């Protein structure tokens, strides 16, 4: 058997083992489903109440993705600005660090005040959650660009823009994708926080209502949905990352570059 295939099978067995252990321990110690439902109960809940759950799942995915896309756009622009200008670095960095230290749950009421409850605060919370890692990584990537590579361009009399486009940005891609994987999961956290506080739709709201009526299996079903969506988004970006930044890990099957 191929070494790679064996490793993958082993990892799948271990992950399944975790859920089996959870199931078995709950049965052995006779844990009530109000405290901790068994995985089988959660799956049954997911299956039987799917028509009620899925509009919420779609809403959460929608707000997360929109917030994430906005976060990427603003994060990359800010990152480029901070990474290429000393003044921008000195001004924006303290502001950014200060802003990202604020608990996001405290910001949601302000968004609700401005835009009303519902979709907009969820999108905005998801956005501000994921901006910080993107900005930091893009700026770091630009700052870490080897001066020798820039000299190659400067002797060719390349403009600043050409250097950024041909050297800075490609060089930053590995940092950028590393940040995307963190940011994607943070975007979910942001969207769900906002839905929990102020929305009548979304997984956050669903879990809120379920827990207030002690419907613990439904709460866990919501958590499962979030975990699955998060893993899917993460895996998606890992896939793109391999395609775009294979050069950084010297992957044998990297054929990009065009």
Partner 1 sequence: MADSLPLPVGNVIDLEKVRVTFGGKNKVTALSETSFRISHGEFVALVGPSGCGKSTILKLVAGTLAATEGHVFVAGREVDAESARIGMAFQNPTLLPWLNVRDNVMMPLKIVPPYKKDFSRKKRGEYRDRVEASLARVGLAGFGDKFPWQLSGGMQQRASLCRALIHDPTLLLLDEPFGALDQFTREELWEIMQQLWIEKRPTVLLVTHDLKEAAYLASRICVMQARPGRIVDDSEVPFARPRTIDISFQPEFVSLTQRLRERIVAARTVQEDTA
- Under the binding rule (CB under 8 A), the answer on residue 156 touching partner 1 is yes
Tokens of 75: 């994060």
Q: Given candidates 65, 81, 138, 167, which one binds partner 1 under the rule CB under 8 A? A: 167
State the nearest-atom distance from the C-beta of 81 to partner 1, in Å: 23
CA separation for the pair 138, 175 (Å, rounded) = 6
| CA distances in angstroms from 131 to 100, 145, 180, 186, 227, listed in the order given | 9, 22, 10, 10, 21
- Under the binding rule (CB under 8 A), the answer on residue 242 touching partner 1 is no
Q: How many CB atoms lie within 10 A of CB 154?
A: 12
- Under the binding rule (CB under 8 A), the answer on residue 161 touching partner 1 is no
- Under the binding rule (CB under 8 A), the answer on residue 144 touching partner 1 is no
- The stretch near partner 1 (CB under 8 A) out of 14-22, 60-68, 141-149, 190-198 is 141-149
CA separation for the pair 245, 77 (Å, rounded) = 20
- Under the binding rule (CB under 8 A), the answer on residue 166 touching partner 1 is yes
State the nearest-atom distance from the C-beta of 150 to partner 1, in Å: 9
CA separation for the pair 156, 151 (Å, rounded) = 9
| CA distances in angstroms from 76 to 53, 179, 243, listed in the order given | 34, 11, 20
State the nearest-atom distance from the C-beta of 159 to partner 1, in Å: 8
State the nearest-atom distance from the C-beta of 169 to partner 1, in Å: 10
- Under the binding rule (CB under 8 A), the answer on residue 17 touching partner 1 is no
- Under the binding rule (CB under 8 A), the answer on residue 44 touching partner 1 is no
Binding mask 94-133 for partner 1 (x = CB under 8 A): ----------------------------------------
CA separation for the pair 153, 150 (Å, rounded) = 5
> Which positions from 170 through 189 interact with partner 1, judged by CB under 8 A?
170-171, 173
CA separation for the pair 249, 239 (Å, rounded) = 14
DSSP three-state, residue 125: helix
State the nearest-atom distance from the C-beta of 148 to partner 1, in Å: 5
- Under the binding rule (CB under 8 A), the answer on residue 90 touching partner 1 is no
State the nearest-atom distance from the C-beta of 255 to partner 1, in Å: 8
Q: What's the length of the chain?
A: 258
Instruction: Write the DSSP symbol of residue 146.
Output: -
CA separation for the pair 190, 63 (Å, rounded) = 10
State the nearest-atom distance from the C-beta of 178 to partner 1, in Å: 15
Q: Can you tell me which residue has the tokens 């799917």?
A: 50
Structural Rg of the chain based on CA atoms: 22
Q: Which residues bind partner 1 (CB under 8 A)?
A: 146, 148-149, 151-158, 162, 166-167, 170-171, 173, 245, 247-248, 250, 254, 256-258
């Amino acid at each position: 058997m191929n070494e790679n295939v064996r490793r993958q099978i082993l990892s799948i067995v271990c992950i399944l083992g975790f859920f089996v252990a959870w199931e078995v321990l709950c049965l052995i110690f006779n844990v009530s489903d109000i405290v901790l439902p068994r995985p089988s109960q959660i799956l049954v809940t997911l299956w039987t109440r799917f028509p009620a759950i899925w509009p919420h799942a779609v809403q959460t995915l929608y707000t997360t993705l929109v917030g994430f896309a906005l976060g990427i756009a603003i994060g990359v622009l800010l990152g480029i600005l901070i990474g290429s200008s000393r003044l921008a670095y000195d001004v924006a960095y303290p502001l950014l660090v200060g802003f990202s230290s604020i608990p996001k749950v405290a910001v949601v009421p302000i968004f609700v005040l401005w835009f009303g409850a519902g979709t907009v605060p969820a999108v905005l919370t998801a956005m501000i959650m994921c901006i910080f890692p993107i900005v930091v990584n893009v700026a770091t990537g630009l700052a870490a660009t080897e001066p020798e590579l820039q000299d190659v361009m400067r002797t060719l009399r390349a403009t600043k823009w050409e250097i950024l486009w041909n050297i800075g940005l490609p060089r930053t891609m590995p940092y950028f994708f590393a940040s995307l994987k963190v940011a994607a999961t943070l975007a979910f956290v942001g969207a769900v926080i906002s839905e929990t506080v102020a929305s009548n739709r979304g997984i956050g709201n669903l879990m809120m209502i379920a827990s207030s009526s002690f419907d613990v299996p439904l709460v866990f079903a919501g958590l499962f949905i979030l975990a699955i969506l998060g893993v899917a988004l993460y895996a998606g970006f890992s896939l793109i990352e391999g395609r775009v930044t294979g050069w950084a890990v010297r992957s044998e099957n990297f054929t990009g570059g065009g």
